[in-house]
Each structure stands twice: as structure tokens, then as C-alpha cells.
């Protein structure tokens, strides 16, 4: 089996690392993700990762928390670094070489984000984890994922979620929701489908970077996507 993609950016939500818990990290989920990522790196696929921080801290309503938006966003960035460290540990335990790069300088635990260095790590077969979002408040980790994918010239963004693709409505709330196998960027905008936030989505559209939305929690799905099987929903120009 030959991989369809040579270099991918895998975007994971922080919530996916919780497993069945209400908060924090599930070691079984981390071990499962590490195993699946290892399988595709062994095929020669270069893998970069961006992880959200919603399992630890999600920017909340300023009126409710009393924490201003920018401050809350920086707190969220730190949460993504914690998740990055956890996934780094899981990957290295599985025998995968990794590098954690942070958009906010924290030399003791992560390299600074340097684009050329990140690409060099990927070329050497290391999994590169991008932490701390873009390093700026008011931007989501979806936007960070899109930006980093474009910078490292990834072939595609793989958005691992709890749902097995893009639907006409939320399948967890609407049983009649229909799944799209393939959809264009323009259709997503016309139908107001919430694939990513608009900044992230526009970056992908303008740079002709396809996105596959798939269920990361189903074992074997990541491999299926990599070899080009019909898994999830692909968004293209």
C-alpha cells in the first residue's frame, strides 16, 4: 500500500484527548493516537500536528469569567502546549522521534517555531508538533493548523473529529442529516457548514489546500485516509 499523501498536517481537538472523561487527558486515547501516527510515519508519510486546548481551558465568555479575551486566549495557548507535551510523550514511548515547537518562547520545554527547521525535521522523519497556536490572541487552533500547513507546504489538512465527516446538519442532534463524500469550499460557505472557523477556512480556500474531515477515534481510519480510501469528507476547490 502506497500513501496518497507525502506530507500532512493532522489537526486534533483538545476534547478528543479526554476520551470518556469530562476534563484532562486519557492515556489510552494518547496511546491509540500514537500507535496510528506511528503506522503512517513507517510508510514514509511526514506528519505535523496541531492540537487544541479545549480539554484544559477554553476561552470563555469574558462577562462570565472576568478574564479578558486576549488573556483567555493566551491561557488556551498554554493548554495546547500541555497537550503537545502529552502527545510527544506518547509518541516517543511508541518509538517515534518528535519535536515540539512553540509559537511562544519557552526554551526549557519546546523549540521556538522556525519554519525551515520544522521542514527539516519533517524531512528527517520526525513528527513535528506545533504548540501555542499562532502565538497571537483572537486566532483559533484551526487557524494555526491552516497557517502551519500552508507554511510547511503540506499536501492536505486532516481534521480528526468525533464525527465521520461533514453533514447537512449536526448528526448528533439531527438523525436525518446527510453526509457529504466530497464538497467544494464554495458549497461549504453557501450552505453555512461549520467545517472550521472562517479565517482558517479562507486560508485553505485561497491557497487551494484540501481538507479531509474524519472520525479520528475509529481505529484504522487515519491509515485509510492516508492510502486514499473513501473515509470522511474531502473539501476541495
Find how far residue 121's CA is from the centre of its chain: 18
In the predicted model, what is the mean pLDDT of residues 84-113? Answer: 98
Report the distance separating Cα 191 and Cα 92, nearest Å: 42
Q: What is the pLDDT of residues 185-208, one digit of tens each?
A: 999 999 989 889 999 999 999 999
CATH number of 7-236: 3.40.1160.10
Residue 59: the pLDDT is: 65
In the predicted model, what is the mean pLDDT of residues 144-153? Answer: 98
Q: Please determine, for residue 60, whether its predicted confidence score (pLDDT) is greater than 70.
A: no
Question: Which is more confident, 177 or 211?
Answer: 211
Range of lowest pLDDT (79-83, 142-146, 188-192): 188-192
Range of lowest pLDDT (39-43, 62-66, 178-182): 62-66
Q: Could you give the percent of the chain with pLDDT greater than 90? A: 86
Q: Please determine, for residue 1, whether its predicted confidence score (pLDDT) is greater than 90.
A: no
Band (175; pLDDT cuts 50, 70, 90): confident
Q: What is the mean pLDDT of the chain?
A: 94
Residue 105: the pLDDT is: 97
Residue 128: the pLDDT is: 98
Q: How many residues does the chain have?
A: 237
Band (173; pLDDT cuts 50, 70, 90): confident
Q: Please determine, for residue 153, whether its predicted confidence score (pLDDT) is greater than 90.
A: yes
Amino acid at each position: 500500500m502506497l500513501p496518497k499523501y507525502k506530507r500532512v498536517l493532522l489537526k486534533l481537538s483538545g476534547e478528543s484527548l479526554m476520551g470518556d472523561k469530562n476534563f484532562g487527558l486519557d492515556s489510552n486515547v494518547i496511546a491509540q493516537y500514537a500507535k496510528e501516527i506511528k503506522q503512517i510515519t513507517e510508510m514514509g508519510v511526514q506528519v505535523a500536528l496541531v492540537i487544541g486546548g479545549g480539554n484544559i481551558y477554553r476561552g470563555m465568555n469574558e462577562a462570565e469569567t472576568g478574564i479578558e479575551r486576549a488573556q483567555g486566549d493566551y491561557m488556551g495557548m498554554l493548554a495546547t502546549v500541555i497537550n503537545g507535551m502529552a502527545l510527544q510523550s506518547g509518541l516517543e514511548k511508541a518509538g517515534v522521534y518528535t519535536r515540539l515547537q512553540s509559537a511562544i518562547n519557552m526554551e526549557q520545554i519546546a523549540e521556538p517555531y522556525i519554519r525551515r527547521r520544522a521542514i527539516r525535521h519533517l524531512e528527517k522523519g520526525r513528527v513535528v508538533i506545533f504548540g501555542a497556536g499562532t502565538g497571537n490572541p483572537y486566532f483559533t487552533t484551526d487557524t494555526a493548523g491552516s497557517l502551519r500547513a500552508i507554511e510547511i507546504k503540506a499536501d492536505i489538512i486532516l481534521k480528526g473529529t468525533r464525527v465521520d465527516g461533514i453533514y447537512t446538519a449536526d448528526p448528533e442532534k439531527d438523525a436525518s442529516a446527510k453526509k457529504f463524500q466530497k464538497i467544494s469550499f464554495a458549497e461549504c460557505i453557501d450552505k453555512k457548514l461549520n467545517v472550521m472557523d472562517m479565517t482558517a477556512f479562507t486560508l485553505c480556500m485561497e491557497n487551494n489546500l484540501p481538507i479531509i474531515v474524519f472520525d479520528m477515534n475509529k481505529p484504522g481510519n487515519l491509515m485509510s485516509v492516508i492510502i486514499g480510501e473513501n473515509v470522511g469528507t474531502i473539501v476541495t476547490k
